[in-house]
Amino acid sequence: MVGRPVDSRSGTCALPASVVVSVALCTHNGANYLGRQVASICEQTRIPDEIVLSDDASSDASVRVVQSEIAQTARSPIPRLRILRNTKALGITANFEQAVRACNGDVIVLCDQDDVWLPNRVERALAAFSQRPDLLLVHSDAVLIDAFDRPIGRGLFHALEVHAYELSWLHQGRGFNVFLRRNLVTGATAAFRRQLLDSALPFPAGWLHDEWLGAVAATVGQVDVLEEPLIAYRQHGGNAVGARRLTLFELVQRAFAARGQTHIDRARKAEIWLNRLNLLKASGIEVEPIKQQALVQRLAHQKFRAELPTKRLRRIWPIWREVRSGNYARFGRGARGVFRDLFESA
């Protein structure tokens, strides 16, 4: 990118000495919690330079709450506020795309409307980028809180059933292997270099903004995780995307549920990911051939799951062959996926 130093080993941008930090804050009828969220942004040990507020056709006082909270803050400097108003709701992914496109920062920090940032969130993200020139996106664990700021559960990673080996892979630069299996990025905890947008825009339909940014970052660069919680992630029953660990009973229920469009949708997403990789390669962006091969195989696996016979007994042999190939472990949740494919109803 013009005006930003580039690391010759990786092609990624080193952080400038006077790094600019943008916050992409998306709102939709979030006035109840926005005051606390914006206050936590203004109370950072490293205060962001700007907040880009993209309001998705709110009918409440969301925008006024943000303006009022920033005007009343006693901290200095005060982040610049830019406001984008949608007269017609775009939806989560498109609204976040609009917000990040409008950000001017070298580093963009994603922000939901109902959480609370811990004081060192921005500082810790910038430190991670400074230490690793190849790092495109970093995310973290979170404390789970209820509508009244009371802690609940054991944290976001516990709710998502994040395993130690997945964290280890991310630290080792093997994030692509993690994302081949599943998404671990919760957007409310994520920050990324602006450079990532060169590969990630436009955001495709069918993908959430955070999982797409994580997948693309792992494809063309590196993703890492900060294992400490850096935000309080609010669970209040009205979350667009929540976090709750499923019980054993719920897992069994899901395994016996109707197949529906789940596997078809996953196959489409895999195809979109592969198509973007091919487009990036065609535009001159270097992508390791092994990643392209892996995505071809992942797409084939998702199509296999989508096309399984409706009768359960007829699924046994093809599923067994796929198990022996290692694809259930490489591209999914292993035994959990096998169990689901064996018992889902047509």
pLDDT of residue 239: 44
Residue pair 199/214 in contact (Cβ under 8 Å)? The answer is: no
SS3 of residue 19 by DSSP: coil
281 secondary structure, DSSP code: H
SS3 of residue 31 by DSSP: helix
- pLDDT band for 9, please (50, 70, 90 cuts): very low
What residue segments make up the domains of the chain, in order of their start? Answer: 21-234, 248-343
Residue pair 63/38 in contact (Cβ under 8 Å)? The answer is: no
pLDDT of residue 1: 33
Architecture of the domain delimited by 21-234? Alpha-Beta Complex (3.90)
pLDDT of residue 15: 82
Element (H, E) at 41: helix 31-42
Q: Count how many residues are written for the chain.
A: 346
pLDDT of residue 6: 41
For the residues 175-179, what does the mean pLDDT come to? 97
pLDDT of residue 281: 96
Question: In angstroms, rounded to a whole number, what is the distance separating the alpha carbons of residues 221 and 6?
Answer: 14
Residue pair 292/331 in contact (Cβ under 8 Å)? The answer is: no
Calculate what percentage of the chain has a pLDDT beyond 70. 89
- Which of 1-15, 39-53, 223-237, 271-285 is the least confident region? 1-15
Side chain identity at residue 345, one-letter code? S
Question: In angstroms, rounded to a whole number, what is the distance separating the alpha carbons of residues 184 and 217?
Answer: 13
Residue pair 235/146 in contact (Cβ under 8 Å)? The answer is: yes
For the residues 44-67, what does the mean pLDDT come to? 97
Calculate what percentage of the chain has a pLDDT beyond 90. 84
For the residues 257-275, what does the mean pLDDT come to? 90
Question: In angstroms, rounded to a whole number, what is the distance separating the alpha carbons of residues 30 and 112?
Answer: 9
SS3 of residue 344 by DSSP: coil
pLDDT mean across residues, the chain: 91
pLDDT of residue 17: 73
Checking if the pLDDT of 10 tops 50, the result is no
Torsion 309-310-315-319 (CA) sign: positive
Question: In angstroms, rounded to a whole number, what is the distance separating the alpha carbons of residues 8 and 197?
Answer: 20
pLDDT of residue 170: 97
pLDDT of residue 22: 98
CA 79 to mean position of chain CA atoms: 24
**Which residue matches tokens 């009343």?**
72
pLDDT of residue 323: 97
pLDDT of residue 249: 55
Element (H, E) at 219: helix 209-220
Residue pair 281/287 in contact (Cβ under 8 Å)? The answer is: yes
Side chain identity at residue 23, one-letter code? V
Q: What separation in angstroms does the CA of 196 have from each of 7, 12, 214, 271?
A: 15, 9, 10, 20
Reported pTM? 0.90
Question: In angstroms, rounded to a whole number, what is the distance separating the alpha carbons of residues 177 and 304?
Answer: 20
pLDDT of residue 199: 98
Element (H, E) at 29: none
pLDDT of residue 2: 33
- pLDDT band for 237, please (50, 70, 90 cuts): low
pLDDT of residue 13: 61
Find the DSSP H helices in 54-188.
62-72, 92-102, 121-131, 156-159, 164-171, 175-181
pLDDT of residue 75: 81
37 secondary structure, DSSP code: H
Give the pair of three-digit tokens for residue 76. 């200095």
Question: In angstroms, rounded to a whole number, what is the distance separating the alpha carbons of residues 230 and 117?
Answer: 6
Strands 21-27 and 116-117 turn out to be unpaired
More confident residue, 4 or 339: 339
Residue pair 201/101 in contact (Cβ under 8 Å)? The answer is: yes
Checking if the pLDDT of 298 tops 50, the result is yes
SS3 of residue 299 by DSSP: helix
Checking if the pLDDT of 184 tops 70, the result is yes
Interval 68-118: pLDDT, tens = 999 998 788 899 999 999 999 999 999 999 999 999 999 999 999 999 999
For the residues 287-300, what does the mean pLDDT come to? 97
